[in-house]
Amino acid sequence: MSYAGAAALQVAVYDLLVSAPGLEGVLVVDAMPPAGGSGTFVLIGPEEVLDQSDKSGGGAEHRISVSVISDASGFLAAKTVAGAVHERLVGATPALSIGRVVAIGFLKAVAKRLAEGEARRIDLTFRVMIEL
């Protein structure tokens, strides 16, 4: 197993999202903005990596979390941005500086209210297969 592709994958996901149709003007970050942020933004978050190596070579399954956080009233703004994130990532095969993305698939999403209902958060989880 190798974690070597993790940084390259984060760069690729960031590059895909900042150029995504439907995400124009939406901030994409990998750390919470100061004071928790305002408006609607995308947060590239945690990941879990599982070994997928076999006798033909190295490989890894990255389960990455991408969150949409919004202080807009209701879930509509967050769901619209989450849909754009989904459309941009699923099926993409971005170039990496190390390894090769074989596939990106959607695993799940969890939507919830934060701060006593004053904000919304949608955590999307994607399965990314990397051949090393």
Residue 34, domain extent: 6-131
Only one residue has tokens 């592709």, namely 5
d(CA 125, CA 100) in angstroms, rounded, equals 20
d(CA 86, CA 78) in angstroms, rounded, equals 12
Is residue 102 assigned to a domain? yes
Summarised one tens digit per residue, pLDDT across range 73-110 is 999 999 999 999 999 999 999 999 999 999 999 999 99
Is residue 1 assigned to a domain? no
Is residue 16 assigned to a domain? yes
Asked whether 51 and 131 are in contact (CB, 8 A), the reply is no
- How far is CA 84 from each of CA 70, 88, 99, 115, rounded to the nearest angstrom? 14, 6, 26, 24
Q: Angle at the Cα of 18 (from 40 to 11), degrees rounded to 5?
A: 115
**End-to-end Cα, the chain, rounded Å:** 9
CATH number at residue 105: 3.30.2000.30
What predicted TM-score, i.e. pTM, was given to this entire model? 0.94
Structurally, how many domains does the chain consist of? 1
Summarised one tens digit per residue, pLDDT across range 33-46 is 887 788 999 999 99
